[in-house]
Amino acid sequence: MKSVELVELVKTALDDMKARDVVVLDVRDMTGVTDYMVVASGTSNRHVKSLANNVIDEAKQQGIKPFGTEGDNVSEWVLVDFGDVVVHTMLPEARTFYDIERLWSVPAGKPGDAD
């Protein structure tokens, strides 16, 4: 499955579970680690974990398994890594604090730019 198709699957899985403020970040020109990041908010720790679990379940139904997950024990911020697509489900407070949308909207500097 292409990364764009995986993003659509993720968005649908998040929408099915009533995720809030879903944002897709295209980071292909900023990093070689992943192509897209999908960020979504949940209303509680349980909702955040359920959002991530639904994304994993829907992907597995298509034969796609995540490389790993992080944060599902606390569930303030759960990260699901599919390689080309990384999904962040977060409580609004964590999302505001870490502000990853702003972080990934700032172009990387080139060596010597600080001079």
| pLDDT tens profile 32-43 | 999 999 999 999
- Would you say residue 27 has pLDDT above 90? yes
Q: In angstroms, rounded to a whole number, what is the distance separating the alpha carbons of residues 112 and 94? A: 33
Q: For the whole model, what pTM was predicted?
A: 0.89
Q: In angstroms, rounded to a whole number, what is the distance separating the alpha carbons of residues 86 and 25? A: 10
Residue 20's DSSP bridge partners are: 41
- Would you say residue 83 has pLDDT above 70? yes
Q: In angstroms, rounded to a whole number, what is the distance separating the alpha carbons of residues 82 and 34? A: 9
Give the contacts of 22 (CB within 8 A, at least 6 positions apart).
Answer: 11, 14, 15, 38, 39, 40
